[in-house]
Amino acid sequence: MPQLHLDTGNTGFMLLCTSLVMLMTPGLAFFYGGLVGRKNVLAIMMQSFASMGWTTMLWWAFGFSMCFSGDLKSGTDFAGIIGNFDWAFLRGVSLTTPSPANDTIPLFVFFAYQMMFAIITPALITGAFANRVRFPAYMLFLTGWLLLVYFPFVHMIWGGGIMAKWGVLDFAGGIVVHNIAGIAALASVLYVGRRKVADTGPHSIPLVALGTGLLWFGWYGFNAGSEFRVDSVTAVAFVNTDLAASFAGITWLAMDWMTTKKPKFLGLLTGAVAGLATITPAAGYVSPKAACAIGVLAGVVCFYAVALKNRLRWDDALDVWGVHGVGGFLGILSCGVFATTAFNPAGVNGLLHGNPHFFFVQLAAVCISSVWAFGFTYGMLWLIDRVTPVKVDEADQALGLDQALHGEVAYIEAI
């Protein structure tokens, strides 16, 4: 049985990072809340906060165990795709049980840190179907998506599953968080369809700015914390996070400026989030110079992905596919290109450092995750529709989901 060799510095740092990642979900609520119209603010913010409560309950009951109990190497999981139930309800976990990622950190801390990732990932998807989904259907979707998409990919990549055996590297969630959430968003958009009542959003760019600031701040815990200890790689991941966000934000701002002839604040904010999403899988494996290049790539590629979405008239209300789906995909490939053991001896060299095999492993993994997330999400929405209607009707869209579904309004004059 592994023993805990408690390091108070690492443990304190990881508790801080856990708190930072927790803050990202309210940040996301503000970010999305500002982007929609005044009559739908509470409905979309509530979806993020509901995930904080319900995902926590599922994580304690069985989610954590399905992700991190058992592994493919010892034959104690299910085909390398999902874990077992040994840690369900935190059974057998004591004060001296060490984290599987670092035996100087208690398992309770690892449990809490990974729980914050589980909370925010499905909440990301909600921006795609803003103003169109009934709350009972959303709760069923949240449950099913965690079980069928999120938990398997956590285990396959971070829990000793089949993709870990292949050599896939995802430092903080390019596949596990952003790619699968963004592709699920696209499947949701195509299933739910376009809004019948045009939204007046964004109703508050200051709210979007507040949300972006909270996300950016929390992202340091998201990326730097994924080293699970305080060392030089932690510092590099922290620096890379800021560099990529900054370069992507300014790149998007420049692209917007050239296109519309005016520098748009919303473009700057959206670009920064795209940079954060894109650097996530590579943050602890690449050099700061590469992080700058990844930021520029994110600003350009995600900008054109959103433009393509607009041209195809997909009603991805808050650009979840273009920012997170495409950003996560690009980030995984960027890790395959730029990774270097010079900045993480525990990592591998990528394409530019003489290892094309690693690039193709990353490419195969992100293609599989994209197909899986799309198929399972679309099929799940179809099944939920057999149980309870997924879409709100036109009358409720006209009234606004805050009033129609929840009997509340954010602003009195919105009634």
199, pLDDT greater than 90: no
**Most confidently modeled of 126-130, 201-205, 377-381?**
377-381
pLDDT in tens, 51-62: 999 999 999 999
DSSP state of 101: S
Residue 197: per-residue pLDDT: 87
162 CB contacts (<8 Å, ≥6 apart)?
Answer: 72, 79, 80, 81, 156
Mean pLDDT of 210-229: 98
Which residues face 98 on adjacent strands? 106
Domain architecture of the chain: domains with CATH = 8-414 (1.10.3430.10)
216, pLDDT greater than 70: yes
How far apart CA 338 and CA 350 sit, in angstroms, is 5
Going by pLDDT thresholds of 50, 70 and 90, the confidence category of residue 1 is: low
Residue 412: per-residue pLDDT: 84
pLDDT in tens, 347-383: 999 999 999 999 999 999 999 999 999 999 999 999 9
CB contact at 8 A, 190 and 133: no
Going by pLDDT thresholds of 50, 70 and 90, the confidence category of residue 151 is: very high
How far apart CA 92 and CA 286 sit, in angstroms, is 38
Establish how many alpha carbons lie within 13 A of residue 135's alpha carbon, considering only the half-sphere containing its beta carbon.
19
| Phi-psi category of residue 248: left, alpha or beta, with phi > 0 → left and psi -120 to 50 → alpha | alpha
Mean pLDDT of 205-219: 98
130, pLDDT greater than 60: yes
CA angle 377-382-387, nearest 5°?
Answer: 120
How far apart CA 31 and CA 254 sit, in angstroms, is 21
138 CB contacts (<8 Å, ≥6 apart)?
Answer: 47, 50, 126
Residue 349: per-residue pLDDT: 98
Show the beta-strand stretches assigned E in 315-385: none
Q: Is the pTM of this model over 0.85?
A: yes
Which residue type, as a one-letter code, is found at position 378?
Y
Q: What are phi and psi of 307, to 5 degrees?
A: -65, -40
How far apart CA 394 and CA 367 sit, in angstroms, is 36
pLDDT in tens, 82-97: 999 999 999 999 999 9
- Mean pLDDT taken over the chain: 96
Mean pLDDT of 114-129: 97
2, pLDDT greater than 90: no
Residue 21: per-residue pLDDT: 98
DSSP state of 61: I
